[in-house]
Amino acid sequence: MDNTEKQVMVNTMQNDAEETIDLLEVLQAMKKKFWLLILAALVGGCIAWAYTAFLVTPMYTSTASVLVLPKEQEYSSVSDLQYGTSLTSDYKVLINSSAVISKVEDNLEITPDIKYSVSVENQTNTRILLISVKCNDAVEAKHIVDEIARVSSEYIAEKMEVTAPKVIEEGKVPLSQSSPNMLRNLEIGALIGLLIAVLIVVLQVVLNDTIKSGDDMEKYLGIYLLASVPDRKDYINTKKSGKKGKKRS
């Protein structure tokens, strides 16, 4: 091993030592400011709670289910069953079509800008479609999903000339909101507050290049410490405490 390789190894070991010292400094700084980290997490959680409670509109979800029927309720062959399963993708598109949604809005006399959204899902390996409506009113969500199931069944039978999908379960009035998730938002807010506080502490340690000890002098200036002079305030305080001890004795 030549001198160049030895020097590289020495520099690498020195850099690793400096990184370890920096990490220890960061951990010590976090320990000293532990109260700040807890406070930041609490503040972040409170902000998230206030935002969720006062600025986010609660939404409720009601779900109805329909059964896809390929031809008649009695199937003549396995191919009919497979055909009924393949129809579910087409039905999902038709249920969300503007023709169905517009007719539902007209029938229920609701404005198009009402806060609701429609989603259609297919249960795996089944011919059952789940129609869900998310709305800012729980009762309205049930009425809308029931009307969509009824109107889409008639619309699909008319346009595709097949047996109308059968509504096997109507929607229910949701007893609790589906969004926003208060607990999740609280956790996210607290985590963001904590991360911001940790980042501030780390930046303070990294950007603080003041000389605090002989090791810092060697690290930043390359100067070795030969001797140190104690702080006069510490000397005076030690002297005073010694005199008080003698008087008491």
Q: What is the pLDDT of residues 51-83, one digit of tens each?
A: 999 999 999 999 999 998 765 544 444 455 455
Instruction: Based on the fold, state whether residues 106 and 157 are members of the same structural domain.
Output: yes
The answer as to whether 3 is a domain residue is no
Q: How far, in Å, CA of 33 to CA of 179, rounded?
A: 36
Least confident of 24-38, 129-143, 145-159, 189-203: 24-38
d(CA 16, CA 8) in angstroms, rounded, equals 12
Task: Give the range of the structural domain holding residue 221, as residue numbers without chain letter.
Answer: 15-53+182-237
Total domains in the fold of the chain: 2
Residue written as token pair 């889409």: 152
- 44 plus 67 within the same structural domain: no
pLDDT tens for 169-178 read 999 999 999 9
The reply to whether 71 and 163 lie within a common domain is: yes
CATH number for the domain harbouring residue 155: 3.30.70.1130
Helical (H) or strand (E) element with 18: helix 3-32
Does residue 8 fall inside a structural domain? no
Same domain, 48 and 65: no
> Strand pairing of 128-135 and 166-169?
unpaired
- Residue 160 shares a structural domain with residue 69: yes
Tell which of 169, 199, 225 closes a domain: 169
Q: Count of residues for the chain?
A: 249
Q: What is the pTM of this model?
A: 0.67
Same domain, 23 and 76: no
Give the model confidence (pLDDT) of 177-223 as tens digits: 999 999 999 999 999 999 999 999 988 888 876 766 666 666 666 66
Residue 155 within any structural domain of the chain: yes
Q: Is there a single domain that holds both residue 207 and residue 231?
A: yes
Distance CA(12)–CA(18), nearest Å, equals: 10
Domain for residue 245, yes or no?
no
- Structural domain includes residue 105: yes
Residue showing tokens 């800008």? 113
Sheet with 116-122, strands from edge to edge, namely: 116-122, 128-135, 60-67, 166-169
Residues of the chain above pLDDT 70, percent: 68
